[in-house]
Amino acid sequence: MKKLYLLSVMLLITAACTSTKNSMDSWVGKTKQTFIKDSGPPVRTFRNDDGEILIYADQIYKKADNTNGSPMTASNYWEYLFVYINSEGKVTSLRNEKQNFPPQQIDATLLNLTNSISAK
């Protein structure tokens, strides 16, 4: 019985992850304007050799028991969404990342060179 329960939980987790990935993949090939119209303006934009990188960021506050908290009593981190736009103005890929620093501290040089972000 425990094995069946564990298998069910694993399948649900896999399905949830697949669903998120599929919804992100559905944006590939759409225009930058369509993405911005649906998601709103990015908090930062960087130009690179291939086009642009749109950066969306949300600050998340969590209490020790992993429930949502207020900014006064909880730890925080940033959830980033990077949207890569080619020179034709089409979405080529999307990437999620969690970091401990705000969008103002993203180093554009490292982002362009390594496809990862780093604080200044």
- The residue among 12, 14, 54 whose CA lies nearest residue 36 is 54
More confident of the two residues 11 and 36: 36
CA–CA dist 105, 117 (Å, integer): 9
Checking if the pLDDT of 11 tops 70, the result is no
Q: pLDDT digits over 70-119, tens only?
A: 655 567 888 999 999 999 999 999 999 888 888 877 876 666 665 555 44
Query: In the predicted model, what is the mean pLDDT of residues 49-54?
Result: 89
Sheet holding 44-48, edge to edge: 44-48, 51-62, 75-86, 91-99
Q: What is the pLDDT of residue 42?
A: 95
pLDDT band at 18 (very low <50, low <70, confident <90, very high): very low
Please tell me the distance from the alpha carbon of residue 85 to that of residue 93, in angstroms, as a whole number: 8
Residue 15 has pLDDT above 60, yes or no: no
3: part of which helix (H) or strand (E)?
A: helix 2-25
DSSP states of 57-101 as a string? EEEEEE-TTSSB--TTTSEEEEEEEEEEEETTSBEEEEEEEEESS
Q: Which residue has the higher pLDDT, 58 or 111?
A: 58
The pLDDT assigned to 19 comes to 47
